[in-house]
């Protein structure tokens, strides 16, 4: 993923640059955290990386392809199959059980019943929720809901996992577990992961840490991990 001179202005009211001339390259398999104060542009950056929004200036490249040149169908395909999202508020479908939530992306993609069942079983096992497959989201703790959301984000085997404050609604222990789960799964499958967080402890667990301030990259540091 690459951002080349990317700016994002929100045009309602006073024009306001939420991101200002960002140059950034994230390589395949990198684990990256984005930190910064509230309003600094973290979510904007993640939404642009995830093709949920478009820059007002500059170009974004997804797996080498300029996003501005993609058709709506190609963008939808990228969002569906190349990128997984995890949100602070979990965003589970309240009327579907755990199995149904994780299955949803596979239903949308029209995978057959057998493939859906196999994939969902494997993912629920990976996030430790096999025994909760037929619970409704309302019957789960926050940490369990986030694990469902993580499993759902991985259903289409995305190359890139984007997470916006994934621990923002969790107590520190569940947050820690959710992050360990994401990091472990990303390493195992060679996925790229970008976390937005304002928790320094979470940021410290990624090998690359980007800090943004007022829509600009204030620092970008890589370090060798302990293991
Ligand atoms: N849809 C929008 N319309 C107008 N301004 C927005 C919109 N989304 C975000 N902003 C503004 O852009 C700035 C960056 O927002 P955001 O990327 O959400 O920051 P963060 O995630 O770091 O808290 C903030 O000042 C916010 O108010
Ligand atoms: Mg935000």
Q: pTM (2 decimals)? A: 0.92
Residues 6+ apart with CB under 8 A from 74: none
What is the structure's pLDDT at 184? 93
Q: What is the pLDDT of residues 115-149, one digit of tens each?
A: 999 999 999 999 999 999 999 999 999 999 999 99
* Nearest-angstrom CA–CA distance, 178 and 148: 10
What does R_g of the chain's alpha carbons equal in angstroms?
A: 17
167-196 tens-digit pLDDT = 989 999 999 998 999 999 999 999 999 999
Q: Say whether pLDDT at 227 is over 60.
A: no
Ligand 1, residues 8, 37, 39: which to mutate, most atoms within 8 A of Cβ?
Answer: 39
Provide the pLDDT for residue 226.
47
**214 pLDDT more than 50:** yes
Cβ burial, residue 53 (10 Å; 0-12/13-18/19+): middle
Asked if pLDDT for residue 224 goes beyond 70, the answer is no
The pair phi, psi for residue 222, each rounded to 5°, is: -115, 145
pLDDT mean over 43-62? 94
Q: Which residue lies with its CA nearest to atom 25 of ligand 1?
A: 39
Nearest to 150 by CA among 110, 115, 177: 177
Distance 38 CA to ligand 2 centre (A): 7
Please give the distance, rounded to the nearest whole angstrom, from the Cα atom of residue 151 to the centre of ligand 1.
28
From the CA of 198, how far away is ligand 1's center (Å)? 15
> In terms of CATH, what superfamily is 2-222?
P-loop containing nucleotide triphosphate hydrolases (3.40.50.300)
């Amino acid at each position: 993923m690459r951002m080349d001179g990317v700016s994002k202005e929100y045009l309602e009211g006073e024009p306001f640059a939420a991101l200002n001339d960002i140059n950034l390259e994230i390589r395949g398999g990198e684990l990256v955290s984005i930190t910064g104060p509230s309003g600094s542009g973290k979510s904007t950056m993640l939404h642009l990386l995830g093709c949920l929004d478009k820059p007002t200036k500059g170009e974004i490249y997804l797996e080498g392809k300029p996003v501005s040149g993609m058709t709506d169908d190609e963008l939808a395909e990228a969002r569906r199959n190349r990128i997984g999202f995890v949100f602070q508020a979990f965003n589970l479908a309240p009327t579907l059980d755990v199995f149904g939530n994780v299955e949803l992306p596979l239903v949308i993609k029209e995978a057959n019943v057998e493939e859906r069942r196999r994939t969902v079983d494997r993912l629920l096992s990976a996030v430790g929720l096999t025994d909760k497959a037929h619970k409704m989201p309302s019957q789960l703790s926050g940490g369990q809901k986030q694990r469902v959301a993580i499993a759902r984000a991985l259903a289409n085997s995305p190359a890139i996992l984007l997470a916006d404050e994934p621990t923002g609604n969790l107590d520190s222990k569940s947050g820690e577990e959710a992050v360990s789960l994401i990091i472990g799964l990303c390493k195992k499958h060679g996925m790229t992961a970008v976390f937005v967080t304002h928790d320094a402890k979470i940021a410290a667990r990624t090998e690359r840490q980007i800090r943004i301030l007022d829509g600009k990259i204030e620092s970008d540091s890589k370090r060798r991990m302990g293991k």
